[in-house]
Amino acid sequence: MTEIITTQQFFLGLGYLAAGLGAGIVVYAATGAIAKIVAAAVEGTARQPEAADAIKKNMQLNVFLIEGLGVVGLLVLIMIVLNLGLKAIPSVTAADAPAATASAH
């Protein structure tokens, strides 16, 4: 029975590790995308200062959309970690089955 629980705990740990890795990837990707947008906006403003307001508005819209997507990704990962089947459930083996049925009556 301890072998089964150990295996379940191993997969539980892998689930948490994957969720942490996924959170890091989401944050890294959102940060990289926002950095590229801001860099392009600064370059565009340097080339055409008279279009700075339009460039700023477009940049802000895209930054907000990407940031919202990153937050949604993190919320999905939090929901996975909290309660979507990542709980270790001890199983009953054949040796423990008579004791389990006797205590149920």
DSSP assigned state of 91: P
pLDDT at 60: 92
Dig out the tokens for 46 from the structure.
């340097």
Helix axis angle for 52-83 and 2-47, nearest 10°, is 180
Taking the C-alpha atoms of residue 17 and residue 23, their distance in angstroms, rounded to an integer, is: 10
Residue 69's CB is within 10 A of a number of other CB atoms, namely 14
Q: Is 1 helix (H, G, I), strand (E, B) or coil?
A: coil
pLDDT at 14: 83
pLDDT at 47: 94
> Which residue ranges in the chain fall short of pLDDT 70?
1-5, 83-105
pLDDT at 56: 92
